[in-house]
Amino acid sequence: MIRVVFYRDSDGKYLGFQAKGHAGYAEAGSDIVCAAVSALVTNTVNSIELLTENSVRVRTEERGGLMAAKLGEAATPEAQLLLRSLYTGLRSIEKEHRKYIQVVSKEV
């Protein structure tokens, strides 16, 4: 199962996220759940780096299926929008594939 944790401050603003695990929906290379999550997560990180003034610290670990991203400073409105979009997209996947992905928010 993929578990995605979104980190937010006390005002509800996104600080970053961590996606970890493998869906197990199908064999590697054919797993549409893993592919969808990977595409959304990677696109979000790339978009924040290219389209906003924010920097992003990223940590990956292919074997454990880990991608963690933390904003380097206070998130711009554009970075907040991109992270909200990621959250929305992942929740949509979760609704259709509850056995394979869990999305939660955590205040830090």
Domains of the chain: 2-107 (3.30.70.1490)
Which position has the higher pLDDT, 28 or 66? Answer: 66
Give a three-class secondary structure readout of the chain: CEEEEEEECCCCCEEEEEEECCCCCCCCCCCHHHHHHHHHHHHHHHHHHHHCCCCEEEEEECCCCEEEEEECCCCCHHHHHHHHHHHHHHHHHHHHCCCCEEEEEEEC
pTM, two decimals, is: 0.93
Whole-number pLDDT of residue 36: 97
